[in-house]
């Protein structure tokens, strides 16, 4: 009963968000295949009737999708090439039956990165209206997709040549396809796999590492619409996997007071998709560092990728996400910080301070500077702690930092004593065995007198 109420609230929220967000897509030339859409009236007339169509995009028709089915393989006019790998895009829940406007952008990003067949699975007709009913449909959708994959195999396609990219609920659809093929599918990527009705589900019903030879996932809304548990060989938790930088927290709170997450849920949930598309462009590496929790990661307790033999996994199309080992560890949580906009990359700087014992609590502001770029972080210092470690996001590499500034911010209404630091060190993560941190020793940070130290260093070019 509780889940029925949650599903209803979930559905109402997404219905309203879809209207505000304008998730529809403009019609193109009639000769180009289009995604379906549906309305509440059509839904009542047709019910949750299973209707699936497939659209094909390749480098020969990046702007004009072809309708695709098993008979297309015998047509000379089809752009499908059996000798190329095949990417399969599966959208998720569609509250109002609207077309996912991001599909073509994702397909084109995939095609820029690799010469492949891109198949878009359009299951909008059975992905709309009540969320709990849509979840019940997801295995039947996967069954229909598996029929097409079987046909492609009969024409020479190998299971390992398929890479499924599932968004939200689409990730679990992809996972069930993988189950039907006993894990022989080459790869499945889940973009913020759906959480409601899946977190406690059996692995048979949701995405898990056994569904493909390699499964990776990106988590950006794990406290609400996304799943909070690892579901792949590697799981990237961006900014902890919950609240994303740049996503508003109360933009529409006055409009929809009963849904405190309203206004940022789409931003957080869809950030996984946008980060993935940015990673496909290859402008900068989005690298994750393995750690048991986000808190441990931020405290600098996880600094290397030894579990992956020194090679940190990256988001994108790299074979096995850049991991060069077999067998690949399963359900490894990876953490990374991002910026609020494309290309989302930032450098992870480990800041270490060793402080002489204090008589009372204090606060120090640390600023890392490079030309016109800077990042600052405030540390609360306690009487019973002398060593502090924290991971900061900085726009440039550690070797490009020109100077570091420490400021004793203290309290306004009482005099705070000077802060005596034995050392302050910075280094970039992941740590390399032959790389020493950059340290400055014996520092006295007086109240009202910022301390600044300039660095003279050059980044190595490889």
What pLDDT does 266 receive? Answer: 84
CATH number of domain containing 422: 2.60.60.20
Residue 370 shares a structural domain with residue 309:
no
Q: Is 461 a domain residue?
A: no
Q: Are strands 162-167 and 66-68 parallel, antiparallel or unpaired?
A: unpaired
Q: Is residue 342 part of a domain?
A: no
Contact 106/270 with Cβ under 8 angstroms? no
My answer on whether 218 and 305 are in the same domain is yes
- Assigned domain for 341 exists: no
Give the whole-angstrom CA distance, residue 13 versus residue 265.
Answer: 10
Q: Write out the DSSP string of 86-131.
A: EEEEE---BTT----TTHHHHHHHHHHHS--EEEEEE-GGGSBS-H
Would you state the structure tokens that stand for residue 324, as one six-digit string?
A: 């060069």
Same domain, yes or no, for 260 and 403? no
**152 falls within a domain:** yes
pLDDT at 457: 66
For residue 21, the model assigns a pLDDT of: 39
Is the same domain home to 261 and 382?
no
Phi then psi for residue 43, to 5 deg, are -65, -45
Which three-class secondary structure state does DSSP give residue 402?
Answer: coil
pLDDT at 19 over 60: no
Contact 399, 460 (CB under 8 A): yes
Rounded mean pLDDT, 56-84: 92
168 catalytic residue (yes or no): yes
How do beta strands 117-122 and 53-57 pair? antiparallel
Residue 462's pLDDT band, with cuts at 50, 70 and 90, is: very low
122, 128, 192, 219: which one is catalytic? 192
pTM confidence score = 0.88
Instruction: Give residue-wise pLDDT tens across range 284-331.
Output: 899 999 999 999 999 999 999 999 988 899 999 987 787 888 888 999
| Residue 287 structural domain | 2-336
**2-21 and 265-280 helices, crossing angle to 10°:** 60
- Both 282 and 355 in one domain: the answer is no
Q: Is pLDDT above 80 for 336? A: yes
Question: Residue 310 domain-assigned?
Answer: yes
State the residue for tokens 């019910």: 47
Residue 416 pLDDT > 80, yes or no? Answer: no
Give whole-number Cα distances, 452 to 73, 115, 272, 351, 457, in Å. 67, 51, 38, 15, 16
Within a domain: residue 460? Answer: no
Structure tokens, 326: 């077999």
Phi, psi for residue 143 in degrees, rounded to 5:
-65, -40
Same domain, residue pair 421 and 328 = no
Question: Any idea of the CA torsion for 385, 349, 277, 208, to the nearest 10 degrees?
Answer: -50
Residues belonging to the chain: 462
Q: Is 431 a catalytic residue?
A: no
Whether residues 323 and 364 fall in one domain:
no
Q: Considering the domain boundaries, does residue 99 fall inside one? A: yes
End residue of a domain, out of 336, 362, 396:
336
> Reduced to 3 states, what is the DSSP secondary structure of residue 272?
helix
Per-residue model confidence (pLDDT) at position 49: 58
Q: Is 192 a catalytic residue?
A: yes
- Look at residues 289, 304, 336 and tell me which one is the last residue of a structural domain: 336
Residue 360 CB contacts under 8 Å (≥ 6 apart), including other chains: 383, 416, 417
Cα 109 from Cα 88, distance rounded (Å):
13
What CATH number did the domain enclosing 179 receive? 3.40.50.1820
Does 368 share its domain with 447?
A: yes
Residues 109 and 254 in one domain: yes
| 36's tokens | 């379906």
pLDDT score, position 259: 45
Please give the pLDDT value at position 170: 98
* Residues 110, 87 contacting (CB under 8 angstroms): yes
Residue 252, pLDDT > 70, answer no
For residues 274-279, average pLDDT? 97
End position of a domain, from candidates 336, 368, 390: 336
The answer to whether position 300 is within a domain reads yes
Residues 357 and 425 in one domain: yes
Q: Which of 233, 269, 347, 394 is catalytic?
A: 269
Of these residues, 18, 161, 168, 396, which one is catalytic?
168
Residue 128: band (very low, low, confident or very high) from pLDDT cuts 50, 70, 90: confident
- Total count of domains within the chain: 2
Looking at the fold, whether 362 and 324 belong to one and the same domain comes out as no
| Same domain (yes/no): 258, 379 | no
Q: Which residues pair with 223 in a beta bridge?
A: none
Sign of the alpha-carbon torsion through 206, 229, 224, 174: negative
């Amino acid at each position: 009963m509780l889940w029925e109420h949650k599903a209803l609230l979930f559905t109402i929220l997404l219905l309203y968000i879809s209207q505000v967000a304008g998730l529809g897509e403009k019609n193109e030339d009639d000769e180009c295949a289009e995604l379906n859409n549906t309305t509440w009236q059509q839904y009542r007339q047709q019910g949750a009737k299973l209707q699936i169509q497939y659209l094909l995009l390749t480098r020969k028709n990046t702007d004009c999708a072809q309708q695709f089915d098993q008979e297309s393989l015998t047509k000379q006019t089809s752009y499908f090439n059996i000798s190329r790998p095949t990417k399969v895009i599966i959208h998720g829940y569609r509250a109002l039956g609207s077309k996912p406007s991001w599909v073509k952008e994702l397909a084109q990003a995939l095609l820029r990165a690799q010469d492949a067949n891109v198949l878009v699975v359009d299951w909008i007709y059975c992905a709309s209206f009540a969320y709990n009913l849509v979840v019940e449909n997801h295995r039947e959708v996967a069954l229909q997709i598996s029929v097409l994959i079987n046909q492609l195999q009969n024409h020479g396609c190998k299971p390992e040549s398929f890479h499924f990219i599932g968004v939200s609920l689409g990730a679990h659809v992809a996972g069930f396809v993988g189950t039907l093929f006993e894990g022989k599918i080459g790869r499945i990527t889940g973009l913020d796999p759906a959480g409601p009705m899946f977190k406690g589900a059996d692995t048979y019903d949701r995405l898990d590492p056994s569904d493909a030879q390699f499964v990776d996932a990106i988590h950006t809304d794990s406290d609400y619409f996304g799943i909070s548990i690892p579901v792949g060989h590697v799981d990237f938790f961006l900014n902890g996997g919950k609240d994303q930088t740049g996503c508003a927290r109360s933009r529409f709170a006055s409009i929809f007071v009963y849904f405190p997450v309203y206004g940022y849920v789409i931003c957080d949930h869809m950030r996984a998709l946008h980060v993935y598309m940015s990673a496909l462009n290859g402008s900068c590496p989005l690298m994750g560092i393995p750690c048991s929790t986000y808190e441990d990661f931020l405290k600098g307790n996880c600094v290397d990728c030894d579990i992956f033999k020194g090679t940190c996994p990256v988001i994108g199309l790299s074979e096995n996400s850049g991991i060069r080992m077999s067998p690949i560890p399963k359900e490894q949580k990876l953490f990374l910080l991002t910026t609020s906009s494309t290309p989302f990359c930032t450098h992870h700087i480990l800041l270490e301070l060793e402080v002489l014992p204090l008589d009372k609590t204090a606060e120090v502001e640390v600023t890392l500077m490079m030309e016109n770029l800077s990042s600052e972080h405030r540390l609360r210092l306690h009487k019973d702690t002398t060593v502090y470690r924290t991971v900061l996001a900085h726009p440039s590499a550690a070797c490009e930092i020109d100077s570091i500034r420490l400021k004793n911010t203290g309290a306004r209404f009482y005099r705070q004593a000077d802060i005596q630091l034995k050392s302050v060190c910075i280094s970039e993560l992941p740590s390399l065995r032959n790389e020493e941190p950059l340290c400055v020793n014996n520092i006295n940070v007086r109240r009202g007198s910022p301390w600044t130290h300039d660095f003279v260093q050059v980044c190595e070019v490889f």
